[in-house]
């Protein structure tokens, strides 16, 4: 009889503990609140970039890198992670609209993006208010990490570094002493061109003048003629590949035959070569090389198998899209908590985990984030078109 009573007591104790355990729910004390997911619901991580319009190649390429990263780490605590793709069309206005849409969705916990600086700048305060952490693969305007944001981070070098290195290379390696600059008027291209010109002057060079263009036009003969009248040795351009291709195609007719053309990292890639054709020969661009590794070789193989294009054809930034997503997913893994059958992701804790990233092994290199969200791992190189292909520029 005693054995039966003891056995019954043990059973009741186990049941009591089980019920108590099930009843004990996670209490969210995170200052930004928590995203909660019931069994079967998907955790949403957004990718935001230009998927249509003149810059769709950039957005598509970077989104593919993000998608491949998600395939490597597709769930957290048994909950599927869904990549929600949103199209900014390359404009700040649409970037703001997308940010507001995502901020209104309680299941969105992080954003791989935005890709362009103008779109990113207007989105940061929206995500800040919603407690949604960001990791941009390619927004490089220096001021973005100087806004005091707790949610914005990036795996791309900021443009002050690019401008400094480019101006030094143009002055020291290419021996240029007279420079003119052009830009597309955007929040990425214009300040980058202006900073490069400013650093060039500090190095001892002369900036003879500048011209802005309207993106998407097919005739830039007027601004090119104005530049030709200034007799520069080199034109530095801040903007993207499609407009750069139009410019170089019209330089000879504008009297700029023999004048060098030097683009920023927004002009680098196979797409520029395809668009500019023979006119690309002899032009320069900025490039952020990806270190050779087994992981990068696998990424290139996986990319072509999944999408049919060789990695690097659309843009050089798919590894950055991959690493931005990979860092976000790693941070989600660190902070996600099971509560019964539900999943809880505390938002401020997630933002803190992203900002605390240290020695993360990415395709672009070893990623460590600064206290302001600068997480770039790679270096900067300068490329030249020779024989229809990008090769390393002289003197590097």
Is 396 a domain residue? no
Q: What sign for the dihedral angle of Cα 297, 298, 304, 307?
A: negative
User: Structure tokens of 241?
Assistant: 């590949």
What is the Cα–Cα distance from 196 to 164, expressed in whole angstroms?
A: 6
Query: What does the H/E/C string look like for the chain?
Result: CHHHHHHHHHHHHHHHHHHHHHHCCCCCCCCCCEEEECCCCCEEEEEEECCCCCCHHHHHHHHHHHHHHHHHCCEECCEEEEEEEEECCCCHHHHHHHHHHHHCCCCEEEEECCCCHHHHHHHHHHHHHHCCEEEECCCCCHHHHHCCCCCCCECCCCHHHHHHHHHHHHHHHCCCCEEEEEECCCCCHHHHHHHHHHHHHHCCCEEEEEEECCCCCCCCHHHHHHHHCCCCCEEEEECCHHHHHHHHHHCCCCCCCCCEEEECHHHCCHHHHHHHHHHHCCCEEEECCCCCCHHHHHHHHHHHHHHCCCCCCCCCCHHHHHHHHHHHHHHHHHHCEEECCEEEEEHHHHHHHHHCCCCEEECCEEECCCCCCECCCCCCEEEEEECCEEEECCCC
Q: Provide the CATH number for the domain around residue 102.
A: 3.40.50.2300
Single out the residue in 238, 255, 287 at which a domain terminates: 287
What is the Cα–Cα distance from 250 to 252, expressed in whole angstroms?
A: 6
Provide the domain limits for residue 200: 159-287
pLDDT tens profile 122-163? 999 999 999 999 999 999 999 999 999 999 999 999 999 999
Q: Within this chain, do residues 164 and 261 fall inside the same structural domain, yes or no?
A: yes
Q: Which residues contact 212 (CB under 8 A, 6 or more apart)?
A: 182, 183, 184, 185, 190, 223
Q: Within this chain, do residues 279 and 172 fall inside the same structural domain, yes or no?
A: yes
What pLDDT was estimated at residue 378? Answer: 73
Is 280 a domain residue? yes
What pLDDT was estimated at residue 5? Answer: 42
Is 11 a domain residue? no
Per-residue CA distances from 378 to 93, 107, 136, 291 (Å): 31, 32, 15, 8
Residue 3 pLDDT class (50, 70, 90 cuts): very low
Whether the predicted pLDDT of 1 surpasses 60: no
Is 104 a domain residue? yes
Q: Within this chain, do residues 117 and 175 fall inside the same structural domain, yes or no?
A: no
pLDDT tens profile 179-228? 999 999 998 999 999 999 999 999 999 999 999 999 999 999 999 999 99
What pLDDT was estimated at residue 249? Answer: 99
Whether the predicted pLDDT of 23 surpasses 80: no
pLDDT tens profile 261-289? 999 999 999 999 999 999 999 999 999 88
pTM over 0.75: yes
Is 301 a domain residue? yes
Is 106 a domain residue? yes
Q: Within this chain, do residues 143 and 202 fall inside the same structural domain, yes or no?
A: no
Sheet of 178-183, strand order: 206-212, 178-183, 234-238, 260-263, 284-287, 381-386, 389-392
Is 376 a domain residue? no
CB burial readout 49-84, b (16+ within 10 A) else e: bbbebebbbbbbbbbbbbbbbbeeeeebeebebebb
Q: Within this chain, do residues 202 and 254 fall inside the same structural domain, yes or no?
A: yes
Q: Within this chain, do residues 153 and 39 fall inside the same structural domain, yes or no?
A: yes
Single out the residue in 287, 312, 336 at which a domain terminates: 287
Q: Within this chain, do residues 166 and 238 fall inside the same structural domain, yes or no?
A: yes
Q: Within this chain, do residues 233 and 146 fall inside the same structural domain, yes or no?
A: no
Q: Within this chain, do residues 97 and 115 fall inside the same structural domain, yes or no?
A: yes
What pLDDT was estimated at residue 379? Answer: 83
Please tell me which residue, 6 or 35, carries the higher pLDDT value. Answer: 35
What pLDDT was estimated at residue 24? Answer: 55
242 within 8 A of 275, measured Cβ to Cβ: yes
What pLDDT was estimated at residue 33? Answer: 98
Beta strand 178-183 pairing with 206-212: parallel
**Mean pLDDT over all residues of the chain?**
94
The domain total for the chain is 2
Single out the residue in 287, 307, 336 at which a domain terminates: 287
Q: Within this chain, do residues 225 and 118 fall inside the same structural domain, yes or no?
A: no
Q: Within this chain, do residues 254 and 327 fall inside the same structural domain, yes or no?
A: no
pLDDT tens profile 164-180? 999 999 999 999 999 99
Q: Within this chain, do residues 315 and 346 fall inside the same structural domain, yes or no?
A: yes
Is 141 a domain residue? yes
Tell me the mean pLDDT in the region 110-129.
Answer: 97
pLDDT tens profile 314-348? 998 999 999 999 999 999 999 999 999 999 999 99
Residue 7 pLDDT class (50, 70, 90 cuts): very low
């Amino acid at each position: 009889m005693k054995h039966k009573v003891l056995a019954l007591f043990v059973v009741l104790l186990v049941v009591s503990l089980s019920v108590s355990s099930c009843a004990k729910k996670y209490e969210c004390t995170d200052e930004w609140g928590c995203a909660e997911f019931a069994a079967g619901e998907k955790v949403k991580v957004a990718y935001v970039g230009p998927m249509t319009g003149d810059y769709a190649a950039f957005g598509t390429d970077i989104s593919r890198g993000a998608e491949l990263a998600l395939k490597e780490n597709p769930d957290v605590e048994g909950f599927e992670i869904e990549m929600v793709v949103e199209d900014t069309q390359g404009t700040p206005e649409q970037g703001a609209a997308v940010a507001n849409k995502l901020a209104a969705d309680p299941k969105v916990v992080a954003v791989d993006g935005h890709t362009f600086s103008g779109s990113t700048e207007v989105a940061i305060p929206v995500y800040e208010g919603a407690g949604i952490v960001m990791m941009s693969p390619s927004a490089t305007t220096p001021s973005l990490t100087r806004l005091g944001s707790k949610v914005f981070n990036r795996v791309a070098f900021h443009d002050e570094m690019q401008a400094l290195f480019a101006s030094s290379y143009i002055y020291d390696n290419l021996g240029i002493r007279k420079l003119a600059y052009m830009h597309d008027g955007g929040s990425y291209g214009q300040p980058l061109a202006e900073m490069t010109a400013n650093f060039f002057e500090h190095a001892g060079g002369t900036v003879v003048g500048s011209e802005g263009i309207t993106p998407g036009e097919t005739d830039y003969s007027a601004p090119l003629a104005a530049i030709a009248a200034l007799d520069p040795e080199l034109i530095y351009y801040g903007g993207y590949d499609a407009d750069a291709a139009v410019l170089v195609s019209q330089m000879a007719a504008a009297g700029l035959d023999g004048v060098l053309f030097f683009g920023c990292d927004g002009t680098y890639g196979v797409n520029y070569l395809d668009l500019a054709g023979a006119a690309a020969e002899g032009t320069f661009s900025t490039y952020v090389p990806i270190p050779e590794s087994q992981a990068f070789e696998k990424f290139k193989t996986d990319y072509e198998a999944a999408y049919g294009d060789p990695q690097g054809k659309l843009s050089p930034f798919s590894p950055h899209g991959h690493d931005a997503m990979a860092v976000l997913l790693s941070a989600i893994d660190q902070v996600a908590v099971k509560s019964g059958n539900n999943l809880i992701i505390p938002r401020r804790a997630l933002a803190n985990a992203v900002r605390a990233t240290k020695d993360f092994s990415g395709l672009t290199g070893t990623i460590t984030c600064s206290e302001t969200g600068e997480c770039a791992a790679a270096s900067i190189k300068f490329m030249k078109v020779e024989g229809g292909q990008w090769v390393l520029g002289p003197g590097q």
